[in-house]
Amino acid sequence: MAENTGIRITDLRKQYGSGESVVEALKGVDLQVVPGEVVGLIGPSGSGKSTLLKCLGAVIEPTSGQMALRSELIYDGSWLVSDLRALRRDKIGFVFQAPYLIPFLDVIDNIALVPMLAGVSNTESRNRAMELLEALDVGHRAKAFPSQLSGGEQQRVSIARALVNRPPVVLADEPTAPLDSERALSVIRMLNQMAVQYQAAVIVVTHDEKIIPTFKRIYRIRDGRTVEEAGEGRLC
Amino acid sequence: MINLAWRDIRHAWSKFLFTGAGLGLLIGATMTMAGVYRGMVDDAKVLLDNSGSDLWVVQQGTLGPYAEPSSLYDDTWRSIRTVPGVERAANATYLTMQVRKGNADVRAMVVGTSTVSYGDPGQPGYLVAGRQITRGHYEAVADMATRFSLGDSIQIRRKQYTVVGLTRRMVSSSGDPMVFIPLKDAQEAQFLKDNDAILQQRRRTALNPAFNPPGQPKLLDAVISSQSTNPYVNAVLVQLKPGQNHGKVADEIKRWKHLQVYTRAEMEQILIGKLIATSARQIGMFMVILMVVSAAIVAFIIYTLTMGKIREIAVLKLIGTRNKTIVAMILQQALGLGLIGFIAGKLVATLWAPIFPKYVLLEPGDALRGLLAVIVICSLSSVIAIRAALKVDPAEAIGG
Ligand SMILES: Nc1ncnc2c1ncn2[C@@H]1O[C@H](COP(=O)(O)OP(=O)(O)OP(=O)(O)O)[C@@H](O)[C@H]1O
Ligand SMILES: [Mg+2]
């Protein structure tokens, strides 16, 4: 396998609609995240953060530009990957604002489901899930249902779900929004720890003032373009 | 791989169980409807079997004796008995009416049966208790469904009868139990007027100069006596000698006597094709309505359950779940609901069939067809929910 270079996005553009009503959501985004790194993506409402995440998450198609994951070019004016569903399943982990766990599966199976979808055996899937749950300090809740967990515990389970297939890329959309500042910081700490451990490139979209100082590097997006900034990198 | 449908059902088992039980009541009602129809067909066949006859001779141009009124002279049977191939022939009358016992009354089909010789067609065949009618008057054999018992004194019109024997499953085609009485009594019961009416009629007859001409006093007596007897029966039941061609003998009687003759197969056709046809159509319509209601309920429940999981479905799609897996989840839930409903329905139908006021015949074949219908209905009903789930965009999981 080629050298893992994490995420590399070059001159990515995305237009919604056409003709009169065209919206240029992304107007040439350049962005790079190396494995093991967590970067913040911040910007005012309507600046294109979710659009960027959706393009990178292979759920909407960009208009032009290039995207590479782990030095494999996946988009270059058009998709270079035929099975986007498998791409999402194997290469990308998602963490959402709300945990969106499957309510009728217990915690361990919420996570184990993901490798199972990729054809991994039930036992192996549950072993991997348990390993992650313990690393994220929720191993003792493995047999509970999501509704029986606290908000912070649920979010940790959803991080475990994002990481269980060892994806080279993790995309997090406002993952700390519903959490208080201590829990928010602990979630970010865990994302950092996991990024290092699994050599994942992590992008965290956030408005959250509490966690902005934790990033070493920040991409500020304004008007569809990204500007790279140095962050404070204070992860206490 | 985890079975998502099963895990969802297990997690929300009470919701599925209650919905399934509700659906089960509908399915049970549908099964009972089918059972009522089967029971009616069976009643009709039992009615024909129990009469012990091969041919039914009735008034020309009628579908008698069960489907239409028919009347024949009560001496017709003598000449029919002489037709080649005929073993026995006997009169029969049928009259559905209220039979009283004390202050209560029971709707029953009163059958006037020959007491000429034992084994004549139309007599109650097998008795579960007591004995056959041996006297020419005032004895009755009743079906157990009348809830009469041996020795009971019952009233038909103005006459009292003693129950001397009991039968089982001797019913009319509408399910009324039979009460057998001697033919002569039955003829009287069909015809009998009350005392006032008899007096009235006598007075009117006497006032009519045609019936009471001066100087001929015997004519009035003759007219009055002919008015107060009933020389008619509803049918002559014919038993053939073994090895006879039923159709041929029937044609023989038809040609010779200008009467209508039906074979067993034709009689069955009349009972099932005509007599219970309207009821069958009503039952069929009810079944269609119940099935449509069941389908609507399944569709509504599955749609609601699916719409409640739209977010989760978007997440499942985003993390790489195949559409096939999501379709299977919804379909399996619909089928699971149908299965719970089917089991509950079979259970309640079996439980309430014996206390149903009509004979309900639950045939295993109908249960199987019911199961197939449930599977088809549930699959079709989940289509709306499946379409909604397939339309969910995985991008929705990421949000705005
Ligand atoms: N499906 C769509 N069709 C048309 N325009 C869209 C669509 N989705 C987003 N847009 C537009 O694209 C621009 C960027 O939207 P996007 O959702 O990426 O913003 P955002 O940075 O995530 O904002 P917020 O912080 O409010 O979530 C906005 O002007 C928005 O109106
Ligand atoms: Mg957004």
For residue A180, give the 3-state DSSP assignment: coil
Cα A98 to Cα A104: distance, rounded to the nearest angstrom: 16
A88 CA → ligand 2 middle, Å: 19
Residues within 5 Å of ion ligand 2 by Cβ? Answer: A 50; B 400
Backbone angles phi, psi at B119, to 5 degrees: 95, 0
Q: Which is higher by pLDDT, A109 or A232?
A: A109
| Domains of chain A listed by start with CATH number | 7-230 (3.40.50.300)
- Tens digits of per-residue pLDDT, A152-186? 899 889 999 999 998 999 999 988 887 888 888 88
Mapping DSSP onto H, E and C, the string for B24-59 reads HHHHHHHHHHHHHHHHHHHHHHHHHHHHCCCEEEEC
Q: Inform me whether the C-beta atom of residue B397 falls under 8 Å from chain A C-beta atoms.
A: yes
Ligand number, closest to the Cα atom of A56: 1
Tell whether A121 lies on the interface with B, counting CB pairs under 8 A.
Answer: no
H helices of chain A, in order, are 49-56, 84-91, 107-117, 122-135, 151-163, 181-198
Q: What is the mean pLDDT of chain B?
A: 89
Nearest to B53 by CA among B111, B118, B119: B119
Give the span between the Cα atoms of B81 and B93, in whole angstroms.
Answer: 18
What pLDDT, on the 0 to 100 scale, is given for residue B216?
A: 80
What pLDDT was estimated at residue B231? 84
Three-state DSSP class for B128? coil
CA separation, residue B153 to residues B97, B163, B170, B188, B201 (Å): 17, 6, 20, 18, 31
pLDDT digits (tens, 9 = 90+) for B129-185: 999 998 888 999 999 999 999 999 999 988 899 999 999 988 888 788 999 999 988
| Chain B: closest CA distance from residue A50 (Å) | 6
CB B93 within 8 A of CB B234: yes
Atom of ligand 1 nearest to the CA of A60: 1
Residue B120: pLDDT over 90: no
Tokens of B216: 């001929």
Q: Contact B315/A50, CB-based, under 8 Å?
A: no
**Does residue A1 have a pLDDT over 70?**
no
Q: Chain A contacts of B315, Cβ < 8 Å? A: 94, 96, 100, 102
Q: Do B319 and A60 touch (CB under 8 A)?
A: no
- The pLDDT of B214-226, averaged and rounded, is 80
Mean pLDDT of B29-38: 91
Quick check: bond before B354 cis, omega within 30?
no
Question: Could you tell me which residue, B353 or B209, shows the higher pLDDT?
Answer: B353
B contacts of A105 (beta carbons < 8 Å) = 2, 4, 7, 11
The Cβ-side half-sphere exposure at B239, using a 13 Å CA radius, reads 16
Quote ipTM for the complex: 0.88
Atom 9 in ligand 1: which residue has the minimum CA distance? A51
Ramachandran class of B157: left when φ > 0, alpha when ψ lies in -120 to 50, beta otherwise: left
Amino acid A2: pLDDT: 54
Helix, strand, coil distribution of chain B in percent, nearest 5? 55, 20, 30
Question: Is the Cβ of B318 closer than 8 Å to some Cβ of chain A?
Answer: yes
Say how many Å lie between the first and final Cα of chain A, rounded. Answer: 35
Place of tokens 């409640």: B308
Portion of chain A with pLDDT greater than 70, in percent? 98
pLDDT at residue B74 above 90?
no
Centre of ligand 1 to C-alpha B36, Å, is 63
Q: What is the pLDDT of residues A16-47, one digit of tens each?
A: 988 888 999 999 999 999 999 999 999 988 89
**Cα distances (angstroms) measured from residue B229 to each of A199, B148, B185, B217:** 111, 30, 11, 20
Which of A59, A97, A122 lies closest to B394 in CB terms?
A: A59
> Which ligand does the CA of A48 lie closest to?
1
CB contact under 8 A, A88 and B319: yes
Rounded mean pLDDT, A217-233: 88
Helices B310-318, B383-391: crossing angle, 10 deg rounding? 50
Residue A236: which pLDDT band, with cuts at 50, 70 and 90?
A: low
pLDDT at B116 over 80: no
Chain-chain contact of B312 with A113 (C-beta, under 8 angstroms): no
Kindly report, residue by residue over B298-321, the tens digit of the pLDDT: 888 889 989 988 988 999 999 889
The pLDDT of B230-241, averaged and rounded, is 90
* A54 touching B (Cβ < 8 Å): yes
Query: CB–CB of B89/B238 below 8 Å?
Result: yes
Question: Going along chain B, which residue ranges are E strands?
Answer: 55-58, 72-73, 86-101, 104-113, 129-130, 139-143, 153-156, 159-167, 178-182, 232-233, 235-240, 260-263
Interface check B14 vs A, CB under 8 A: no
Residue A24's DSSP bridge partners are: A15
pTM beyond 0.90 = no
Token digits of residue A86: 């498998």
Higher pLDDT, B201 or B79: B79
Q: Does B315 touch chain A (CB under 8 A)?
A: yes
Q: Which of B8, B12, B312 sits opposite A100 (nearest CB)?
A: B312
* CB contact B224 to A (< 8 Å): no
Q: What is the pLDDT of residue B229?
A: 75
**Contacts for B239 with CB less than 8 Å, ≥ 6 apart:** B52, B53, B54, B86, B87, B88, B89, B120, B121
- Identify which of B2, B315, B322 has the shortest CB distance to residue A100: B315
